Structure 1
Amino acid sequence: MTEHSVIGEDAAAVWPQVPTESADRRRPVWVVPDEVPAIVPRSSRQTEARWVGVYRWAAVGGDLLAALIAVSVALVTRFGYEVGNAYLVIGSLLPLVWVASVGLSKGYDSRYFGAGPDEFRSLFRAGVGLTAAVAITSYVTKSEIARGFVVAAIPATVVLACLLRYMLRRDLHRHRARGRCMRRVLAVGRNDQVETLAERLGSRSLDGYQVVATCRPRGDLAASPLIAGELDEADILAAVDRHQVDVVAVATDHELAGQSLRRLSWALEQRGVELIVSPGIIEVAGPRISIRPVAGLSLLHLERPSVSGGPHVLKAIFDRAGAVALVVLFLPILVGVAIAVKLTSPGPVLFRQRRVGRAGAEFWMLKFRSMTVDAEERRNELHALNESNGVLFKIRDDPRVTPLGRFIRRFSLDELPQLVNVLRGEMSLVGPRPPLPEEVAVYAADDSRRMLVKPGLTGLWQVSGRSDLSWEESVRLDLRYVDNWSMTLDLLILWKTLRAVVGRRGAY
């Protein structure tokens, strides 16, 4: 067994190298990525884990503060300054009950700190559960609790708690962007699987995973099909102890499954180390995945994506209502931009372009004109300046863009007329990027899944880089949206779109 370290010239003094000839070639080896120490003193690991306790207590304090503010405002709003003793007692107990409800909803589970929507879902579940509990208690005890107080206090508590938790997460993300508050991970598996797993876990620092070592059979490193290798529980546990990891991530492997994986989980449980298993499925989010026990086996069920039926009727209603509200809200801006386009350059105010919608139906997409009138005719002249390596045509400093067009593109104001397309039912507020017919003509079989839903005014492509994305990245994000669509995801994308537009990221 050989320990590989790349922490500097003195690494060999820390971990003496064992000659390859005398090593058991069936034993795993540990490969430590660059700039990550092979050994972390226990005191350092305890310091790194301290952030979990700090975050948890800050979350509890934020929830208590949110409940106290909401309850105080609700009492004053409902009763003025003459609050009865009964409601003073209820108001005093409600913050404590709220924290207990969040805890029961796993709102303080460290697995969800700073990553994914589960933290916020727990707050919403706690709000619904607390409302139901108050209603049932009121009915059973035949007490008259003012509905106005309950309706004001609990929703306000949920909103304030979400706001404070969001601020707490942002602070955690700033630390993680600097490499702090991370979970040390040991990735286990064969070469191909473990490399993919390690790469994915380390691709987003905001998720909080830092792969400090990988454990794999020596036969894989020798790249020889004649040398057998196996993953041994004892060697994995030795790596856990040596590298002081917080999480063991196992890539799918037939040798480390069933009873072997069960025994490994027991051993890790005793060490306080978390075990996660990658099933090898990519780009599929939680709502479509469920674990169901069948005949003693834990089977991973993959639900079909929702592309029609009741949820999409709700989405259509939400789109139309949202479009009407946005048109009313942005009406002064719409009028102002239209006048500015008309006065600053010759040509029509609106630019109409043929795009492909759901099920391949073509429609005319509307935008404020941001280029010169002859932009389409000049496209062939500028083909050599195309900065995209795929089907898309984009130039960062496109000479066809007018000075006003550059400004309205920076803030995505040129996209606002697409609200009319949403009202017509041709587009959605959130969805895949609306493709051109020539793009659809070169689609691969997988790419055509983008047209299972309506294209959107915004989408994952908008909040993940906008014009900075390559063709492949744009397609991947669109397919991820189609496979994992939900109303919660739409609301999250709309919120992130506002941040992307205000921050002017990737727009040109």
Structure 2
Amino acid sequence: MVVDHEVTTRGRRAPGAGRPTPHALRWDPARTYTRGPRRPAWVVRFRALLLVSDTVVVTTATVAAWWWWGRRDPAVTFFGVEVPTSAWLAGVVAVWLLALAAVRSRSERILAVGVTEQQRVLNASVFALGSVMSAAFLGYAAIARDTLAGAFGIGLLGLMAMRLTWRHRLITWRAAGRCKRNALLVGPRRDVVPMLHDLRRNHRAGFRVVGIALTDADPEPGTRIDDVETFGLGELVDRAHHPRVTTVVLAGDLPGGRGQIRRLGWSLEGAATELVLPSSVTYVAGPRIHLRPVEGMPLVHLSLPTYTGVAYAAKRVVDVVVSSAALVLLSPLLLAVAVAIKLDDGGPVLFRQQRVGNHEQLFTMLKFRTMVVDAETRLTALQQANQGAGVLFKLQDDPRVTRVGHVLRAWSLDELPQFLNAFVGTMSVVGPRPPLPREVARYDGDVHRRLLSKPGITGLWQVSGRSDLSWEESVQLDLSYVENWSLSGDLMIILRTFRCVLARAGAY
């Protein structure tokens, strides 16, 4: 479903004909009528695919659990009446699917974004299990507990795996230009340009910008920003009524302030489009933002981030469990890598380096050595060829990397000894990138907030491109993690890390 910029040139008013001033935005009561936002055809098809896959997984898990644990009982007694096993299985499947629909686990707004989709699948499964157990208790039904546990255990794992598979497929489609909403950007040029670049870079957002309404100037006909047509604010409502435009994204302040934003919403009521307002609180995610309307005065409550307490203690427990399990399970691989490094050039197996951790405390980070022994002394001679961004030093074809080192870096095997750091507590499994002291010395302003959390073996920076990221993008990702971290978010990052390691994106 590739749509070109033709979308923005078929409005009801010909471009340039009777152009209103850029600040002219009026609400036309004659246009206002009740109509929901447009739902692109791909949304309907994709949600249908999710429904079919959910039904297959839930049905298969329920029947498999009954076949393995409960097929000895051809019927179940419910309120003194014998109910055929097939009817009971159908009831379990129906309750489970209704729970998935009730929590809106297939909502377009959560697809391929964050961990909300997985959380809703988990919540629906727990609710369905509780409902079935409650019904069985009230109806004196003799249902084997291992059958229920097996059905919901297998089904939950199957649903999670299937949703992750579809998520990866959707992101792939969006990277190819498909399965996106056609959006109009609104705002001054200084805000529109970075927003346009962000939406093009981040395929997960799912927006294709097909027009830009500038609020600080009335552009000449045919003026474009990065091949996207621009027009005045007065033409926005006409453009939004195009049948293929589904979203209007506000990238900055409107000339009239909050009142103008309200009138913009009114003007779009008949356009069947959605109005998207970016949060003015940088890096803050949904769980920390709470809307509290008080008699026409909407108040937004912002919960401040905390780095102590039960959740942080649970994060430490997860670090110990994951790191100890990784060290035990990967011990044969660790031994093989150590032998390969030793046989390559006879130098030390481990590379020890001072890094800056939580609250600017220095610690020794462990890695498998991938460079020649005198790599640090040869760094100065390579500074002119630095390909890194900001304070980072990166060189894609670094001559200091050994033969074995190239293989280790390509598959991120050199990072495995950092599980020892995570086990002793100087690092975490998930967190910001561990910086060097010379990098921290060049930090300015808000960048220091990266050090409020323990550095991680993996993190948003790794699953989003690693060495291919610019300095500003790396900082933004790390700050976003520090401000909005959660255990469920850590789990999603760990799962995404496996895919990134296999893809070897940005690994050098």
- Give the TM-score normalised by structure 1: 0.85
Please give the alpha-carbon distance, in whole angstroms, between the structure 2 residues aligned to 1:270 and 1:217.
22
Higher relative contact order (CA 8 A, sep 6+): 2
1:300 match: secondary structure = strand
Distance 1:439 1:216, change over 3 A: closer
Q: Equivalent residue for 1:78? A: 69
Deviations 1:356-379 (A, max 9, x none): 111111111111111111111111
1:234-249 paired onto structure 2 within 5 Å: 235-242=235-242, 244-249=244-249
CA distance, structure 1, for counterparts of residue 439 and residue 366 of structure 2:
18
Deviation at 1:323, TM superposition (A): 0.6
Structure 1 pair 123–6 and aligned structure 2 pair: CA distance change class (3 A): closer
Task: Give the corresponding residue for 1:435.
Answer: 435
State the SS of the aligned residue for 1:351. Answer: strand
Partner of 1:62: 53
Give the aligned partner of residue 215 of structure 1: 213
2:79 corresponding residue in structure 1:
none
AA of the residue aligned to 1:102: L
CA distance in 2, matches of 1:500, 1:243: 38
What are the superposed Cα offsets for residues 406-428 of structure 1, whole Å, 9 maximum, x if unpaired? 11111111111111111111111
* Structure 2 residue 315 is the aligned partner of structure 1 residue 315: yes
Aligned residue in 1 for 2:145: 147
**Deviation digits for residues 416-451 of structure 1 (CA, Å, limit 9, x no counterpart):** 111111111111111111111111111113111111
Counterparts of 1:411 and 1:94, CA distance in 2: 43
Pair 253,504 (structure 1): closer, same or farther in 2 beyond 3 Å: closer
Residues 251 and 280 in structure 1, CA contact (< 8 A), matched pair in contact too: no
Q: What corresponds to 2:21 in structure 1?
A: 25
Distance change (3 Å), C-alpha of 1:382 and 1:178 = closer
Instruction: Spell out, residue by residue over 1:179-236, the C-alpha distance to the aligned partner (whole angstroms, 9 max, x if none).
Output: 22221112233333344444433332332211212224464659xxxxxxx966xx54
> Residues 293-322 of structure 1, C-alpha deviation per residue, up to 9 Å, x if partnerless?
223222222221232211110000100111
Give distance in 1, aligned partners of 2:10 and 2:56: 52
Does 2:97 correspond to 1:106? no
- Which consecutive residues of structure 1, in runs of 5 or more, have no partner in the other structure? 30-44, 223-229
Q: Tell me the equivalent position of 1:185.
A: 183
2:30 aligned partner: none
Which segment drifts farther, 143-152 or 261-270? Answer: 261-270
The equivalent position to 2:86 in structure 1, one of 82, 85, 88, is 88
**1:468 & 1:356 partners in 2: Cα distance?**
22
Aligned partners of 2:22, 2:269: CA distance in 1, in Å?
26
Counting matched residue pairs gives 476
Equivalents in 2 of 1:217, 1:390: separation in Å? Answer: 33
SS of the residue 1:201 aligns to? helix
SS of aligned partner of 2:183: strand
Q: Distance in 1 between matches of 2:205 and 2:88?
A: 39
Residue equivalent to 1:332: 332
Q: CA deviation at 1:250?
A: 2.7
Residues 442-466 of structure 1: CA deviation (Å, up to 9, x unaligned): 1113111111111111111211222
Aligned to 2:156: 158
Q: CA deviation at 1:103?
A: 1.0
Q: Secondary structure at the match of 1:446?
A: helix
Change (3 A) 1:166 1:256: farther
User: Post-superposition shift, 1:15?
Assistant: 7.1
Provide the rounded CA distance (Å) in 2 between the counterparts of 1:204 and 1:104: 29
Alignment of 1:117-128 (within 5 A): 117-128=115-126
Answer yes or no: is the 8 Å Cα contact 2:352–2:367 preserved in 1: yes
| 1:489 lines up with 2:489 in the alignment | yes
| Contact 1:127–1:155 (Cα < 8 Å) also in 2 | no
Taking the TM superposition and a 5 Å limit, the aligned residue runs for 1:251-290 are 251-253=251-253, 261=261, 264-265=264-265, 268-290=268-290
Alpha-carbon shift at residue 134 of structure 1 (Å): 2.2
In the alignment, what sits opposite 2:465? 465
Q: What is residue 306 of structure 2 aligned with on the other side?
A: 306
Partner of 1:365, secondary structure, is: strand
Which deviates more from structure 2 when the two are superposed, residues 252-261 or residues 359-368?
252-261
The answer on whether the counterparts of 2:129 and 2:152 sit within 8 Å (CA) in structure 1 is: yes
Q: Distance in 2 between matches of 1:241 and 1:12?
A: 10
1:398 aligns with 2:409: no
Residue identity in the other structure for 1:161 = L
- CA, structure 1 residues 416+27, in 2 after alignment: closer, same or farther (shift >3 Å)? closer
Aligned to 1:36: none
1:269–1:409 distance in 2 versus 1, CA, 3 Å? same
CA distance in 2, matches of 1:472, 1:259: 34
1:124·1:158 contact (CA, 8 Å) conserved in 2?
Answer: yes
The alpha-carbon distance between structure 1 residues 253 and 437, as it changes in their structure 2 partners (threshold 3 A), is closer
2:372 match: secondary structure = coil
In structure 2, the CA distance between the partners of 1:171 and 1:152, relative to structure 1 (3 Å rule), is same
Q: Which residue of 1 aligns with 2:343?
A: 343
Residue equivalent to 1:382: 382
| Separation in structure 2 between the aligned mates of residue 507 and residue 413 of structure 1, nearest angstrom | 11
Give deviations 1:72-128, integer Å, cap 9, x for gaps: 111012224553253432211222222211111012323333434332222111112
Post-superposition offset of 1:16: 4.7
Q: Is the 8 A contact 1:247 1:275 kept in 2?
A: yes
**What per-residue deviation string (whole Å, max 9, x for no partner) do you get for residues 155-176 of structure 1?**
3222212222222233333332
Check conservation: 1:429, 1:457, Cα contact below 8 A: yes
**Structure 2 SS opposite 1:78:** helix
Structure 2 alignment gaps of length 5 or more:
26-36, 77-82, 221-231
**Counterpart residue identity of residue 338, structure 1:** A
1:263 CA displacement: 5.9
1:132 aligns with 2:130: yes
Change (3 A) 1:144 1:7: closer
Q: More displaced, 310-319 or 130-139?
A: 130-139
Whether the aligned pair in 1 keeps the contact of 2:11 and 2:239 (CA below 8 Å) is no
SS where residue 381 of structure 1 aligns? helix
In 2, Cα distance between the equivalents of 1:159 and 1:363? Answer: 38
Q: Which residue of 1 aligns with 2:226?
A: none
Q: Is the alpha carbon distance of 1:12 and 1:80 closer, same or farther for their aligned partners in structure 2, counting shifts above 3 Å?
A: closer
| Rounded Cα–Cα distance in structure 1 between residues aligned with 2:24 and 2:502 | 50
Over the aligned positions, Cα root-mean-square deviation in angstroms equals: 3.0
Aligned partner of 2:227 in structure 1 is none
Q: Deviations over 1:478-505 (max 9, x none)?
A: 1111111111111111111111111111
Cα distance in structure 1, aligned partners of 2:267 and 2:94: 36
Contact 2:433 2:459 survives alignment (8 Å): yes
TM-aligned CA deviation for residue 292 of structure 1: 1.9
User: For the structure 1 residues 437 and 18, does the alpha-carbon distance in structure 2 shift closer, same or farther, using more than 3 Å as the test?
Assistant: closer
Cα 1:136/1:271, change in 2 over 3 Å: farther
The residue number in structure 2 matching 1:171 is 169
Residue 35 of structure 1: aligned partner: none
Native 8 Å contact 2:369 2:405 kept in 1 = yes
1:117/1:371 Cα in 2 relative to 1: closer, same or farther (>3 Å)?
A: same
Distance 1:243 1:191 in 2: 26
- Percent identity over the alignment is 38
User: TM-score by structure 2 length?
Assistant: 0.85
